[in-house]
Amino acid sequence: ETGVTQSPTHLIKTRGQQVTLRCSSQSGHNTVSWYQQALGQGPQFIFQYYREEENGRGNFPPRFSGLQFPNYSSELNVNALELDDSALYLCASRVGGGRLDEQFFGPGTRLTVL
């Protein structure tokens, strides 16, 4: 078991609404990355947080934002939801500067935008 948890498991929203997804990282991991996975596609990197600061971002608009808290848990916020935001949202945690093979993914949150 990886120890990375995400909530909620599933979520349904309508266009224009805002959503907050949560990730609890594995104990001792201070780095959290978020990925978006559309149906039938591989995960796409959204951004990464290290010690409460964003330190890397993929090709996603500013309406995708995040937070990391002192306990290293993290939130992904998406404003003005669009239909194409329907996807599985994954978070992954590791120790900053640690090896990628020691990064663990959570089970994801399935977001449906109607």
Partner 1 sequence: DAKTTQPTSMDCAEGRAANLPCNHSTISGNEYVYWYRQIHSQGPQYIIHGLKNNETNEMASLIITEDRKSSTLILPHATLRDTAVYYCIVRALIQGAQKLVFGQGTRLTINP
Summarize as ranges the residues that interact with partner 1 (CB under 8 A): 2, 4, 33, 35, 40-45, 47-48, 55-58, 90, 92, 97, 99-101, 103-108
Nearest-angstrom CA–CA distance, 6 and 55: 21
Cβ distance to partner 1 smaller for residue 49 or 85: 49
Cβ 15 to partner 1 shortest distance, Å = 25
Cβ distance to partner 1 smaller for residue 70 or 100: 100
Say which DSSP state 15 is in: T
Helix, strand and coil in the chain, % to nearest 5: 5, 50, 45
Cβ distance to partner 1 smaller for residue 106 or 113: 106
Q: Residue written as tokens 């990730």?
A: 23
